[in-house]
Structure 1
Amino acid sequence: MKIRDLLNIIEDTAPLSLQESWDNSGLIVGDPNADVEKVLVCLDVTEAVVDEAISKNCNLIISHHPIIFKGIKSLVPHGYVERTVIKAIRHEIGIASMHTNLDNSPVGVNKRIADKLGLIRASILDPKVGLLKKIVTYAPQKEAERVRLAMFEAGAGNIGNYDSCSFNVVGEGTFRANALAQPFVGQQDKLHTEAEVRIEVIVPHYQLNRVIESLLKTHPYEEVAYDVIPLDNSWTNAGSGMVGFFEQPMKEKDFLELVSATFEVPMVRHSPFLNRNIQKVAVCGGSGAFLLSSAKRAKAEAFITADIKYHDFFDADNALLMVDAGHFETEQFTKELIADILRKKIPNFAVLFSEVNTNAVGYYFK
């Protein structure tokens, strides 16, 4: 299997176009056309992880955090990033990362956190805006069903928990074919009126080209009329964080015990207790304090994330219990998430977990 093909399996679940503008997800080091024999999955790429890949004969590392966030002007071994990249290149080991594209997937990092906590009815906390397009096309009545189904199969027509969604209205189309045309209906140099169906479907922007290609391939007309309309709607199938419910409410201390046990962290930082039961919980793996206002709007009773600054705790403003469970700790399940995606599609392929602890934060108790 080629590196490109293997990464496409993950990108079907977490398209690279879902990543944030500042991110660097995807293949970072290596040849996409190279054969891949074994994959090592990790949270962070370090020199020790590359050494582990060498010892385990893995020629591709897939991490959550990109080894390169910003541009590198030279590859000299001054820092750990450069040393890691040089070592990977020297040993022909590819490095790919699935970061905020996996964060923003509805079955990604935050869904895995929600599942680990036992949350039910989980949904995107802060849906993305501007990722949807509407395609409008016109097909002869007898061909409309075939055209519509082709667009559905290519990825159009999904709204929330529903698929095959479309709007259809019958009307009349007119056209005159010139001497060079080969019309499906009508004749050259004669004005023709055809009973047609106007078909409207919604499509995520990253599937737009695939849907248009399917439309053009299936539509019987020589010249296919279609419109692509950008939408400002929020899209509940992609976005930051998640919010869900416990089956039963629990006391705040019991909740913190659950958080500590789930993320295997010896301590958690939190805002002052509010002496309320907790049932609705918002989560965001990694640095998610920017979602505090979204958690408040969702009326969550607690918000779990990491890297919370001192003044962020004040912003909780007695609306909810804000909990910092650690960056590494809240994202640790990403390794098994990536492995599960690959093993579901290619069950006999060798996907190994890194055994290197890359958590850069320690805890000292006196």
Structure 2
Amino acid sequence: MPTALEIEKSLFDLAPRAGAMDWDNVGLLVGDPAGEIHRVLVALDATPSVADEAIQKGCELIVAHHPIMNCRWLPVQSLRDDTPQGRLLRKLTRANISVICMHTNLDVAEGGVNDVLAHTLRLEDPGPFLDDGLGRIGHLSMPMALRDFAAQVSELLGSNGVRYADAGKPVFRVAVGGGACGEYADAAVAAGCDTFVTADLTYHAFLDAAGKGINLIDGGHFPTENPVCQMLQSFLQKQFPSLSIKKSTSHREVIQYYVKGE
């Protein structure tokens, strides 16, 4: 059976480490590189519920998108059961579960987060958006009203709802950025897009959208990135046919929307 290190190498063939931003933390972050792997659980995040699911399913490895620990926003200074991060890491190590995380390197990789998002939203001829490889630009088969496209985005991503701002344009040329890519709205305008789909947009981003002449759709961080998990599952199953590879059923969107009048 393959080792955790061999699976990490295969994932780096898909999304090379060099593609990760300099602050990022990717690769085998928890576990024994030489440990044999029989069962893998794929999830967007290695959360406590995902760890419990991996234990219940007898998995030795979790493959996730977001780093389980990152020196930029969540430095590891202690390993204690009375902190959320320490409790999770101790749970994983007690159960001998390894964790591999592919983050910004998977965002920019060909066939990665943003290609999967563009495909999921049915964009035609998607191509590069930014010089660093983030995002994609494509077009619809025919123009749509923004409200109709927003509803379609919500349905295709399986989200609980989306937020959007209307610049008074039909939707045709669309930029996408999985996760928090709101800072690239100006680049979408410069690229001639009428619509930008991303996540974690601020109040001021929506406020400025009409003046910039671009429709904005916030599809949610989890919904815009989660489709890549299916791709990772398929990729790993093809690379390692002998493994049992499952996509997490416990990890899902946690943000709910209350709509006035419902």
> How does the TM-score come out when normalised to structure 2?
0.93
Partner residue, 1:244 = 138
Whole-angstrom distance in 2 between the partners of 1:100 and 1:83: 25
Conserved? CA contact 2:154–2:160, under 8 Å:
yes
Please say if residues 252 and 273 of structure 1, whose CA atoms lie closer than 8 Å, have aligned partners that are also in contact. no
* Distance of 2:83 and 2:124 partners within structure 1: 44
Unaligned runs of 5+ in 2: none
Give the 3 Å change call, closer, same or farther, for CA 24–38 of structure 1 in structure 2.
same
Q: Counterpart in 2 of 1:270?
A: 164
Matched, 1:78 2:79: no
Select the structure of larger CA radius of gyration: 1
Q: CA deviation at 1:313?
A: 1.6
1:289 is displaced (CA, Å) by 0.4
User: Are residues 1:116 and 2:120 paired?
Assistant: yes
The runs of at least 4 consecutive aligned structure 1 residues that moved more than 6 Å come to none
| Separation of aligned partners in 2, 1:68 and 1:245 | 36
**Which of the two has greater helix per residue?**
2
Distance, in Å, in 2 between the alignment partners of 1:346 and 1:29 is 21
State the identity as a percent: 35
Q: 2:92 aligns with which of 88, 91, 105?
A: 88
Distance of 2:41 and 2:52 partners within structure 1 = 11
Q: How do 1:1-366 residues align onto structure 2 when only pairs under 5 Å count? A: 1-70=2-71, 71-128=75-132, 239-274=133-168, 276-316=169-209, 317-366=211-260
Is there any run of 5+ residues in structure 1 with no aligned partner, and where? 129-238
Tell me the CA shift for residue 242 of structure 1. 0.6
Note the C-alpha offset of 1:52: 1.0
CA distance in 2, matches of 1:88, 1:267: 33
**Using the alignment, how far apart are the partners of 1:43 and 1:2 within structure 2?**
21
- Per-residue displacement from partner, 1:173-210 (whole Å, max 9, x unpaired)? xxxxxxxxxxxxxxxxxxxxxxxxxxxxxxxxxxxxxx
Aligned-partner Cα distance in 2 for 1:31–1:116? 35
TM-score, scaled relative to structure 1: 0.67
Give the letter for the 2:190 counterpart: R
CA displacement at 1:318 relative to structure 2? 4.0
Distance 1:46 1:36 in 2: 20
State the Cα distance separating 1:272 from its structure 2 match.
2.6
| Alignment-mate amino acid for residue 17 of structure 2 | L
The structure with the greater share of residues assigned to strand is 1
What is the Cα deviation at residue 79 of structure 1? 2.4
Contact 2:49 2:251 in 1 (8 A): no
Separation in structure 1 between the aligned mates of residue 13 and residue 51 of structure 2, nearest angstrom: 26
Q: Which moved more, 1:356-365 or 1:320-329?
A: 356-365
Asked whether the 8 Å contact 2:159–2:253 carries over to 1, the reply is no
| Alpha carbons 2:45, 2:66 under 8 Å: kept | yes
2: CA distance, partners of 1:362 / 1:83 = 26
